[in-house]
Structure formats: structure tokens, C-alpha cells
Structure 1
């Protein structure tokens, strides 16, 4: 009989711990970032230089966390066409959108990644080493939708 109480107690503690870890990963560290915040400055790197040029942004939604430089995500619309962007800005060679929290509905890493692979969107370098070893990447669609994330660059993997 005592073994049932001990086993039940272990299960309850494990469930509570699991719920705490889930909450910490999905909600606890994230905060909304407004379009006016310094962290929300959206730029694209010009092709022949390291000059960062601001781009027009409408309908910005963003999140970030102090716990990791990789937690930044944003969604917005821009008037910048893909044709103009590819002639002016650096295309990002190996974009890998990172998953965001489930509650941040405007950002779907799997869909963005699949669209980039099919050529339905194009990724551009926004800021090299925005944090040491981390690049900011912007994916732009023909209809003006755009998504932003941070990902590790080659320097981080050395």
C-alpha cells in the first residue's frame, strides 16, 4: 500500500516539474517587442558593402527573450519587392528558420522553411553578428509578408 503512495507522489512531482519546464520554455522568458524598440530595427545588408539600410515595415509583431539571442522572432509587411531586394541586398545562403513558441501565431518556421526551399520566399541578411555568432535573417514573400529570426552563423560553429 505504501508503494502506491510513493509511486503516485513521484508521478505527481514529475508532472508538476514537466509543466514548469513547458511554461518556462513557451511563455516565461518571452516579451513583446514593439516596432519602435531598438531590438526591432529592421535593416538589410547591401550587396557590395556592410552598410545596413533600414526597410519599410508595417504591421510589425515581434517577440524576444533575454535568455538567448536566438529567441527573436518577428512578422511584418513591407513594400519592398523581391526583385528590388535581390538586386540591392545580400541573399542569405543557408536560411534555417527556428521554431517559435506555439502562441506566436504569425510565425510558422516549418512553413517559412518549406517556402524558402521551394523558392516561394527569399531570405536576406539583415545584420551579421547582431550578437556574437548570430545573424538576423529576413525572409520576404512576393506579397510583402516578411518574417525575421536569429540563427547561428558559421563563426559560431568554429
Structure 2
């Protein structure tokens, strides 16, 4: 009887572990529906609302389970030098990893291109979700990548540090009034 119970416990652990792995890597992600003219936008130097840039071959994934799971890839004929004259540069030089099955987004290769000056990163949308900015990187070869990154307010909010007055109020605080 003891061997049978042990076998059940081991099998239950394997099934639970497999289910957790599947949910983290595959289960929560969905393809993002194409929204022409709105998928790739950059923040202009003078401020104001983000402006669209020309792009093609757009593909993206996202998950409702976290605001930083968004990843996208696209092509553009625009060069980073051209864009830098018109749009706000970002200091984010290392994108977050994407699931291995999302082949077009290789965070390590993108980060290396950014570090070597073969790509440039730009601010796309500030606070797309509380404490999260959308970042766009464009390479010299005409490939583009999009991901979400915690900004200063997001890092403070999620690590427990006092947020301070320079950050906007959290959405929960606004709804509670």
C-alpha cells in the first residue's frame, strides 16, 4: 500500500509541475490582434501623444496575467538614426526574455545589438499600465522589437519602496475614492 501511495504522490507532483510549466510558458499567452497604425508608436521629442511609424510584418503576443509579458516584432525601412532625430530615446538596453516558441524575439541578441550600437531603443508609451512603459528597439537591419519594462514608479511600487509624489496615484487608490 505504501508503494502505491508513493507512486500516486510522485505522479501527482509530475502532473502539477507539468501543468505549471505549460501555463507559464504557453497557457496565458495570446496572439495580439493587428491594429494598423497603432501597433508601433514612438514618443515625439517635444512631448505629446505617441506617433505611429511605418512598419510591416508585425506579430505580437501578450498575456493578461502580467503587464510585462507583451512582446512584438516588426520590420521597418526607417533607420535608428532617423528615428533618434524625432523621437525620445530610452535607456532600456536589455529586453525581457520571451517564451522560446516566440521565435522572432531573441532578448539576448536584441540586447547585444543595443550594446554594440547596431540598434537603438525608444520610449513608445509611458505608463501603458501603471508603472510600465512600452519600449521599441529598431536595428540598422530594419528589424524592430517591442516589450514592456517597469519604469521607476513601477519598480518602487512592486518592490515595496515608498512610491513618492513624483509617481501618479495607483489605479486602486483612484477607484477607492
5 Å-filtered alignment, 1:5-24, equals 5-24=4-23
Number of equivalent positions: 156
Partner residue of 2:87 out of 86, 89, 112: 89
Provide, for residues 6-26 of structure 1, a one-character-per-residue CA deviation record: whole Å limited to 9, x for no partner: 222221111100110011111
- Following superposition, the deviation at residue 85 of structure 1 comes to 0.8
Q: Check whether the contact 1:96–1:151 (CA below 8 A) recurs between aligned residues.
A: no
Q: Which residue pairs with 1:31 in the alignment?
A: 30
Question: What RMSD, in angstroms, separates the aligned Cα atoms of the two structures?
Answer: 1.6
Q: Gaps (5+ residues) in structure 1?
A: none
Taking the aligned partners of 2:149 and 2:80, their CA distance within structure 1 comes to 21
Partner residue of 1:122 out of 120, 141, 159: 120
Q: Gaps (5+ residues) in structure 2?
A: 157-177
5 Å-filtered alignment, 1:102-117, equals 102-117=100-115
Provide, for residues 82-141 of structure 1, a one-character-per-residue CA deviation record: whole Å limited to 9, x for no partner: 111111111101333111111111111111112212222111101110111000000100
SS in 2 for 1:140: strand
Larger relative contact order (CA 8 Å, sep ≥ 6): 1
- Following superposition, the deviation at residue 37 of structure 1 comes to 7.1
TM-score, structure 1 normalization: 0.91
Spell out structure 1 runs of 4+ moving beyond 4 A. none
Query: Which structure features the higher share of strand residues?
Result: 1
